Structure 1
Amino acid sequence: MKLIGSSTSPYVRKVRIVMAEKKLDYRFDEESPWTQDSKVSESNPLGKVPCLVMEGGEAVFDSRVIVEYLDTLSPVGKLIPSTGRERVEVKTWESLADGVIDAGVLARLEATWPDRKESERSQAWIDRQTGKIRLGLAAMSRGLGDKPYCSGIHMSLSDIAVGCALAWLAFRFPEIDWRTDYPNLARLHDKLMQRASFAETQPR
């Protein structure tokens, strides 16, 4: 399998961590969808990463679709419950974490996209997206509480998604001091960073 994506993308990182935890072999092709010579759209018509190209050449895209597929490939380290409320809980955590990232990406593009003039940027839009980030962080902290992991006593996709969101915020939005505001999220992130899958994919 070949994974196409950028090492700074939190969505790509989520897939890379799942692959490491599942002990799956793959080739990582570093490719940014934002460069003029990007070839991402050759595999994903939407021009987005991550994109997983399988042995037969078929492409799978959207990180949520990819990680769900990857979790079925090996019994090692099951990350998503098969059925029931436990499955819904894990997928809801993933949606929350991805939603925080989505809001951050929208705020960052509004503020920095070079194809937009300064007069065209909307501070109200940036503030709206930043507000979603802050509400999302508060919801993560409440949901985690004093538990060792987001969805119980074992690491799951919930924690991988949250860990990727937290690290990306620290990377792109250092002014949002979630470590001070939410010590339980900081403890979870520090625990996850002790795993090779997290340490070796940290955005820089």
Structure 2
Amino acid sequence: MPMKLIGATASPYVRKVRVVLAEKKLDYQFVPENVWADDNRVADSNPLGKVPCLVMEGGEAVFDSRVIVEYLDTLSPVGQLIPAQGRARAAVKTWEALADGVVDAAVLARLEAVWAQRKDSERSQAWIERQLGKIDAGLQSMGQGLGDKPFCSGNALSLSDIAVGCALGWLEFRFPQIAWRGEYPNLGRLLDKLMLRPSFAATRPD
């Protein structure tokens, strides 16, 4: 029985895990779940009711995308995505934290704007603007950090690029009004290059 990944195809956090699974050539079963549906079963495996959630062969669950991808990188020697130690490891994990932070802010802004259980009079435009400011700052930092390098960390694909690519892809999916490609063409080139990889092409959010 292969590992099971519980998640939603639209989630950038789930996509990050799916890309890592593909790049590591690991076998798994994808179990789609909508965490907003009243009858979802996510809490059976993750008491927080969040995805992604990785259920291993013995039934033990691992959750939070950062924990999952770190675990997955140890399962196969194919294409190491996270350096084992030192400053190189810290650099990759910092890139991941930056990219995930952009997604976190984007998710909060979207929920404030569209969550059906909140009345329009209860929505805070100031809160939305605060989150959009974090997105702008994160994009600026990613653009400066990438510069003219082929990848975010070193000269080969790493978790840095996967996290950044998933963040950028989700912004294009949910926030097409943010014209980040015009301001940071290097990030656009990186995403376009990543989309040529089967792992990214097969996990485009929908």
Question: Could you say which TM-score interval applies, normalised by the shorter chain?
Answer: over 0.9
Matched with 1:179 is: 181
| Structure 1 residue 32 displacement after superposition | 1.2
Tell me which amino acid in the other structure corresponds to 1:30.
Answer: P
Matched with 2:154 is: 152
Matched with 2:196 is: 194
Moved over 3 A (4+): none
1 CA distance for matches of 2:204 and 2:179?
Answer: 18
2 CA distance for matches of 1:32 and 1:142?
Answer: 36
**For each residue in 1:57-103, what CA deviation from the matched residue of structure 2 results, as whole angstroms up to 9, or x when unmatched?**
00000000000000000000000000000000000000000000000
| Structure 1 residue 142 displacement after superposition | 0.2
SS of 1:4 mapped into structure 2:
strand
- Quick one: which of 61, 64, 87 aligns to 1:62? 64
> How do residues 9-88 of structure 1 correspond to structure 2 at under 5 angstroms?
9-88=11-90
SS of 2:84 mapped into structure 1:
coil
1 CA distance for matches of 2:200 and 2:181?
Answer: 17
SS of 2:30 mapped into structure 1:
strand
2 CA distance for matches of 1:152 and 1:71?
Answer: 17
| Structure 1 residue 116 displacement after superposition | 0.8
Matched with 1:166 is: 168
Structure 1, unpaired ranges of 5+ = none
Tell me which amino acid in the other structure corresponds to 2:95.
Answer: W
1 CA distance for matches of 2:38 and 2:176?
Answer: 28
Tell me which amino acid in the other structure corresponds to 1:17.
Answer: V
**Is 1:90 aligned to 2:124, yes or no?**
no
2 CA distance for matches of 1:38 and 1:122?
Answer: 29
| Structure 1 residue 181 displacement after superposition | 1.1
Structure 2, unpaired ranges of 5+ = none
1 CA distance for matches of 2:73 and 2:154?
Answer: 18
Query: Number of residues paired by the alignment?
Result: 204
- TM-score, with length taken from structure 2: 0.98
| Structure 1 residue 156 displacement after superposition | 0.1
SS of 1:103 mapped into structure 2:
helix
| Structure 1 residue 157 displacement after superposition | 0.1
SS of 1:8 mapped into structure 2:
coil
| Structure 1 residue 7 displacement after superposition | 0.3
**Is 1:136 aligned to 2:142, yes or no?**
no
**For each residue in 1:102-144, what CA deviation from the matched residue of structure 2 results, as whole angstroms up to 9, or x when unmatched?**
0000000001111111111000000000000011000000000
SS of 2:133 mapped into structure 1:
helix
1 CA distance for matches of 2:179 and 2:47?
Answer: 36
Identical pairs, percent: 74
